[in-house]
Chain A
């Protein structure tokens, strides 16, 4: 019997904890409004970060804690989980006040009403234009950008001393180098990798969505039509020539490049750690089509929860503490992504590699953040993969089916 009582007590504890869990948020607010509370204990700020950013945010958090006497609690999350967890937890009041995130989550976040706008005011001008533009929807800014990332052509200068002028140039230089692969581009197995392949696609004049004059996207597909079909045909040709393969996954590609099996790889700054002992140069991605090859720009930033009970603290922390050159540089040093704050980016550009990526990024287009983009990804990648792997008999037909499937999914 004693055992069953113990179990029962364990149960009650669990229940109580559950209840506490849901009681926490409102508990905070009562404490905040309580006149008898010490003025110094005026609330706390919960921030979701992933492990690469934790130390950098910690430094800014400590500075903020010191000045305002507010507790800043950093919760380390898996970056892949943040988006889904934020969407699920904010409505329950359990979510954080601030979370780190990518700008292309914005559309989903606003349709689900989980983020609040952040008024950058005059500070907006201190950031790179594309960074603020990426976090802008319908004229409102929804986050504080801190880093810009894009892919470029990474060249092993030992194997290819000169930057290729065109796509054919690159293939020729790659073949001349006598390495196993003329150039490397990753594909996530038969799921493809439309993000990395995008610059090739844009060079055929087939962007994914129609773009407005201010750089934002309209939910009207633009990847179909003649230009898209030309790209599909090109993919099939290159696949047949053995230049593109579904078996070259990220790991395979990075390892092959690190071991000098190819002079070129198309990739981002996140790969550089593995190439530490190579001499590298960063070049624009050569265009196979007749238009410039524009990669996607991704902007990393911080969002404020729409249900935050510490909105004032959250905005104050973001706009006045994380937007400083010091904080942005610390984040750059932690994550290796070029900063979004122009002053910090200029300082970081003393490194030719960072400057190289930044230069390519200047001509790039922001990744669409409209919610319709979610429906595009999986069809897009699989179709590309099936075309260049030769699984699809007719590339044009496969591309057209993809366009109609996406249109069906968009409803």
Chain B
């Protein structure tokens, strides 16, 4: 099918008769149908960003698959689209959050913050009774409450305060019928629950007496607002003290004497988060230490695992060794274990008083493997070596087996010894094949959150720091701690995102430099 279409494209002939075209038409139609559905759903939800992105992708897909001028795009468009949605968008969003104060107290939009403040500050009038309540509707569709107070029925709406309704029928303590009003049945009440829960029926003409509201459409209570929002002035007023709160730049309502209301909203704060990461002395000190350790950890992890993996690969590549297959299979075992499980097992085995290593292997010594700063670093590297060498062993074995035999023959003829052959032939050729993998291994270890979290949890804690970070924390686990996701610290997504951006830049720059170096390596060979 492909060839036929390609020919057609080259010849520029407009023969759209093939079965392939029919299949394409059907598939594109499916894509379009789903896309249009997505657009409609986004429209209904008011998610304009998603709507625009869906429309753009849909147009792009149709153009790419119906034009004859974009053969390469036909192959890369799906991948490109996934890249946009799952990578570029995520990076972009993280970048955006890094410039906001998203975190505890600034969790949402201003509208939601105002709603939350109002609902939190509506108080039940002290000593007011619980009123059995029925939802009623007037002739012109206006909702009202019929309540029973002291055995007498009263009816009112948002506009009309509660007034006695002596001719109402009472049954079991609730109103079942009121002349001039329709009593709504349960399903109808549930359908209009939004109107019911927001309805406030004043108790009397005096607003200070409060108003009746209900949360379950069965019982009403008299409530009084403590905070009042003035939409025109965009201010909050405390009804009891008269203090006026106005919005400030941090996304909070603030009174004249600097007091703020608890619920705030998300605002952009410029470079404040970056300034905190580098400038706030509580973070700056640990940040530098953690940055250095992250580099050391990532580089040493790659170097040690590669060295061990390559050594073993060369040993087991020797045809004189018997039972190579069995050994190789055994070597790969650590790789077959899920990383977080292995790290957890190791953290148990390295426990100072109860771990297997101290108890059995070292005869009851109390070596603080995970609680001494330097030993903990060593343990992390050791466990990572155990976890990582099979991967290096695999790729080195593969690369070694694909090295051409003739260069070794030439080296032998030239009289090169074993060491010389390894240094000048094996090593460079091996590096050409494995360098990109080493770079990706570096990037992986730079962000090896699982290992740190499961093995040491970042501990032992810095004694001199005032933030909950430790000697084996790497940047990504620092981000996790700062974000407060585990509930052990206040959440600060803004700062965590800013740190993520720093990590992104560091890994990006190093990868770019390293790949450039690799290219040089290829030229050499």
Contact = CB atoms under 8 A, between A and B. Distances in A.
B480 to A, nearest CB: 11
A312 B187 CA distance: 12
Given A4-B74, A13-B34, A247-B353, A113 B216 contact: no
Contacts of A389: 371
A275 interface: no
Interface in B146-205: 185-194, 196-197
B37 interface: yes
B371 A190 contact: yes
B27 A113 contact: no
Contacts of A312: 189-190, 193, 196-197, 215-217
Contacts of B44: 23, 26-27, 30
Contact of A246 (B217, B371, B466, B468): B371
Interface string B102-115: 00110111001101
Interface residues of A, number: 91
A108 B116 contact: no
A392 B65 CA distance: 69
A4 B80 CA distance: 12
Interface stretch (B49-57, B394-402, B412-420, B421-429): B49-57
A409 B57 contact: no
24 contacts: A1-B2, A2-B20, A8-B65, A12-B57, A15-B34, A18-B50, A19-B39, A19-B47, A22-B41, A23-B45, A23-B47, A30-B44, A32-B194, A42-B191, A43-B190, A70-B190, A84-B487, A112-B107, A306-B112, A311-B194, A374-B488, A374-B489, A375-B489, A389-B371
Interface in B56-90: 57-58, 61, 65, 74-75, 77-79, 81-82, 85
A247 B354 contact: yes
B187 A42 contact: yes
Contact of A12 (B23, B61, B108, B263): B61
B309 interface: no
A306 B116 contact: yes
Interface of A: 1-2, 4-20, 22-27, 29-30, 32-33, 37, 39-40, 42-43, 68-70, 80, 83-84, 87, 90-91, 108, 110-114, 116-119, 121-122, 138-140, 189-191, 245-247, 252, 306-307, 309-313, 315-316, 319-320, 371, 374-375, 377-379, 382, 386, 389, 391-392, 404-405, 408-409
Contacts, number: 268
By DSSP majority rule, is chain B's interface helix, strand, loop, or mixed? helix
B57 A11 contact: yes
Nearest to B114: A113
A37 B191 contact: yes
B218 interface: yes
Contact of A110 (B31, B79, B82, B262): B262
A3 to B, nearest CB: 9
A22 B45 contact: yes
B4 to A, nearest CB: 10
B65 to A, nearest CB: 7
Contact of A26 (B1, B20, B46, B370): B46
A83 B1 contact: no
A117 B223 CA distance: 12
B488 A378 contact: yes
Interface in B1-59: 1-2, 5, 20, 23-24, 27-28, 30-32, 34-35, 37-39, 41-42, 44-47, 50-51, 53-54, 57-58
B485 interface: yes
A29 to B, nearest CB: 7
Interface of B: 1-2, 5, 20, 23-24, 27-28, 30-32, 34-35, 37-39, 41-42, 44-47, 50-51, 53-54, 57-58, 61, 65, 74-75, 77-79, 81-82, 85, 104-105, 107-109, 112-113, 115-117, 119-120, 122-124, 130, 185-194, 196-197, 215-219, 221, 262-263, 282, 351-354, 370-371, 457, 459-461, 463, 466-468, 484-491
Contacts of A306: 112, 115-116, 119
Contacts of A371: 104-105, 490
Contacts of A404: 466
B120 A1 contact: no
Q: Which of B116, B196, B217, B370 has the most CB of A within 10 A?
A: B116
A122 B105 CA distance: 32
